[in-house]
Structure 1
Amino acid sequence: MAEKLFSLKDAIGTFVSDDDVVALEGFTHLIPFAAGHEIIRQGVKGLTLVRMTPDIIADQLVAAGCVNRMVFAFTGNSSVGSLYAVRRAVEAGGAGELELEEYSHYGLLARYQAGAAGIPFMPVRSYAGSDLVKINPQLKKVASPFEEDVETYVVPALNPDVAIIHAQRADRQGNIQSWGILGPQQEVAFASKRTIVLVEEIVDDDVIRSDPNRTLIPGFVVDAVVECRYGAHPSFAQGYYDRDNDFYRSWSAISKDPDRLESWIQEWIHDAGDHRGYLSKLGDGFFDRLTPVPRLSTPVNYGSVL
């Protein structure tokens, strides 16, 4: 299998285009902030952003004018506050309005699952009694082919143009290993037409082969793998660095003031130049306080008679 190593700049420039449907996934941790910042630097416009839980990275992309439409299940600053750029865009109306398409968490996951399986829709019985069906015309009822007079809600398959995720490690062929909260990472990678994965480190093939069950996404569905240390900051990467709660708490005040938000994007994204520049602005030793205490899993014996 050919090597799939890209720089972050080249991966975004090659695989993300204006007006794409882009899924940026990562549930609580492994949120691909560095990729979102590079999308902003490259001035990509007209995106439909798909994310199960659009949080600060969505606020930044909307504020930068990259996103026209958002497909999501929950949005907010991780229980810390509001996303004021998203809120202003939703309330703007007219040309500046942000279009929303809302699902439950499982409803959006089911869309990825259907897309990954190559089937047109997925049944989701839990929408019965939900007000979401009043605001989202994509939620439809179908008759059961197995039970008389039984109907169930279904959601349509979703096949994003690009999936962008973050993970702990990969080999040079794009075999991705991850642990901790996995979220919809696997489903979105298989559902999407193109997949970019940022990882904390590129490791030798032997490391991946030594623990094959840890491989969440095989290389044959990955188009680009990018070594991007601390690329999920301010979210966390299990075992590598913890969540930067100070940043999350500070964001609402930044986001609430449009001028301050514009200045933050200019300073921390554009002026930084790239992710290396972003880390340089954070300063030496910044991640010392976020470094977790090691807690190793028990070794697994993959013994064989061969």
Structure 2
Amino acid sequence: TWIVEPKFVSAYNLQNIIRWTSLFGIISIGVAFVIITGGIDLSIGSLIGLVGCLLPMLLAAGYPPVIALLAVVVLSLAIGLMHGLLITRLGLQPFVVTLCGLLFYRGFARWLTHDQVQGFGSSYEGLRQLAIGKVSLGGGFALPIPFFLLVIAGVLAALFLNRTIWGRYLLALGRNETAARYSGIQIERMKVLAYVLCSGTAGLGGILFALDVNSVQPAAHGNFYELYAIAAAVLGGCSLRGGEGSILGVVIGAAVMRLLYNAINVSGIPTQLEFAIIGAVILAGVIADELIRRVASRRRAGRGD
């Protein structure tokens, strides 16, 4: 792409790619925890839209920024807790629960705002620096602040997944739920934890996305973001069957998705093809995962002989 269109590697475009990769990377990390357990969350795009509407409304109502931020984060965590309990206590399918969430949160956001655009105006430029600020590296290049937030989130998530007993429980649950149950793992609690983490990161992402755009459309903000996150997780090595995945891989997957999107725009390819490409990417990831599984099974069978 950079050969066809030199502006692809311009400082402005690279900063834009890094910023959006960071924002999508944060929500993709949360989705990865759910996918690792063998679940799915289709609601995060609508949750991002709801958070994006609530935050400026709370600030406009006179609440201090810290209180407003805490309120939307707590709401996001509570939504994740509700999802987890519906799935574990009532035995509902994750697809159904989160699909209903996708519809409900979007509809509630539109009702709450009367479909009116929400924004921060010019009153919270300091707060908006969390999403639009940059740290200069010299030479005319600067790293967006969301990049550093992604690094922090990624390191914490990787340590949690790979260095704590709870992370190992999540992986074990995804590999074989029955075996995990018989080994003494409280799988219901682990599933709830995964959905809480997913909605929590979606809430954080929703804050950053809203601060970035500064003009939230209740009917459109966050639309299809769940697809970007799922695609990034699958590209990053998360198996939709559960039990596999790495945080670094998910971040790389998010970067690939944004590079594809940016290449479409910069190269003049019709933007209508964006979702076709996303669909093809997800399908390719699923096919690759299945082929790898079959090859691994044959090798294990061969060693057994």
Name the TM-score, length of structure 1 as normaliser.
Answer: 0.28
Taking structure 2 as the reference length, the TM-score comes to 0.28
Q: Which has the higher strand share?
A: 1
Q: Which one has the bigger helix percentage?
A: 2
